[in-house]
Chain A
Amino acid sequence: MKAGSNLENVLSKGLFAVTGELGPPKGNEVSVIKRKADLLRGYVDAVNVTDNQTAIVRMSSIAASSLLLQMGIEPVMQMTTRDRNRIAIQSDLFGATAFGIKNMLCLTGDHHTFGNQVDSKNVHDLDSIQLIDCVRTMRDQGTLLGGEEKIEGEIKLFIGAAENPFGDPFEFRAIRLAKKVAAGVDFIQTQCIYDMNRFKEWMKMVRNLGLHEKVHILAGVTPLKSGGMARYMAKNVSGIIIPDEIIDRIVKAKKPAEEGIKLCVEQIQELREIGGVHGVHIMAIEWEQMTSQITEMAGLLPRPKVA
């Protein structure tokens, strides 16, 4: 066991893992976290806590993660290299692990110009792969990055990263995953999947490289709320591909939200059948209440209790 987290246990037992996602409040209102935690508790194995997602200022993911721990939910603390240099990153990891956080997700982060502090200076001292390498060094060698400096205590972290099979150049996407694996990643959560063909093709490349045996891949899904949302995402979000037939299906549905959930469940069932997919990551953005319904309909309940 690298960190002994619940998520690690589920995955290492070969069980199909389910993770959820929680966006911390745009302030210090703890009740928001509590409300969302209640919606997710029992339906997922761990919950991603975003780190100022889309560069919108929110409660720090370390703080929100430790609050979640107190509420009895296992967090996956996200960390971006956008806002911290290697000093802050390593110091934050000391703190986070001290609070008992055992999972983290290494990200570069959305560009700051997308958020509400466009005038800020971005850091990018490290990129996500270098961050993975940094955390792995801290955990496995017990030293700081690039240094001989010994760490007092042990950093136990189950290291995750994201990968987007829908970014370009497509042929390079599996190789990039290999780079992350080489840097020391333990699990991967993907960008939300709508273009199943492309995802399957990517997974084929991943399997050809033998990566599915070295890393746990959790396929990302996001239920579509409405036709408008589908159209907006397809048009405006780089790195998300939504095939026209899916947009059509949601747009033409009498109850688009219901259709969106149905679609999501179908997707999960399809993903489960793909070799190398070890779990799903459900990103029900500001729609956390649907997580229970989705997991139930997809037959993912009850979540296993593993020691």
Chain B
Amino acid sequence: MTVAKELAQSGVSALLIERDPSLGGLAASFCCKASESCNKCFACVADKRVLEIRNGPSISILTQTELTGLKGGPGAYNVSLKNGKGRMDIDVSAIVIAAGVDPFDASLKAEYGYGRYKNVITARDLDEMLRLRGKLFCPSDGRLPKTVAFFQCVGSRDESIGNLYCSQVCCAYALRLIKAIRYQYPETKAAFLYMDIQPAGASFDQFLNSCRQDKGIRLIRSLPSKVYHSPLSDGLRVRFVDPLKGEVAEEPFDLIVLSVGLVLRKDSKSLARLFNLNFNEEGFFAPPPAQTGVFITGACSGPKDIDRSIIHAKSIACTVQQYLKGRS
């Protein structure tokens, strides 16, 4: 979206193609994670972007549309599109792929029991719960959880599933969720189980300190090994190494939130085939050679948060625009 907007502003007309019915991608389903003040989650930015795009004078938008074919070569591509109304072929000079990412499928980490235990949810589930229902509850019985554990690096930095990269967004994402929950429900205590706290930025230190000072938030440097479930009470017990005592501990929690990593969207394989794209070591799109007129941006080139995706997109827009200039 940002690419289209920036190009439009530089006088290049752009066509935006989205497979889903609405714009915004993953970011559009996030909730606001403010506590007493804004915690810089950028979720509201996505909403505003959608508006701005609809506003843009030389952007055409096709939603619920899929790419089916590609003809031509650098500088003069002809793409085939398909949507509910039918098929069409369009000539374009350059193509920008911003196919985005999916959250990691948490059920692949069987030891955490996602999909089997109702009270094990992903951070995204929690996000949607807060955005649309406006409250926090245990999915099993609807009561307010007293204790919530956040597991970090679910599907990232994990050799066992082959995802040898940091998803870069989940620490801040989870901590902001914790902060928002703690603000709304002071009686709910949270534990944050992690490897390293990743984010950086001018205000992050301040934010992290406010988390550390909060007595209701425990930051535990240890990734849990297993979740046990009691079918009678729907209670959950978490097994992890207590870094302070140096021994294995088991602790009960009402709700477990998995901070799932980012993976390339499932349907990206077909895009890759269509555009003859390579994958990098991490399994994301590698940037295609210059002069092909095909560009990659956003999280599909490697995990990025909203802020960095936008910067990346703007930067790519600059490249695209210069590429076009160079050709004409």
A and B touch in the complex (CB under 8 A): no
Q: Taking beta carbons and an 8 Å cutoff, which residues of A are in contact with B?
A: none
Residues on B close to A: CB < 8 A?
none
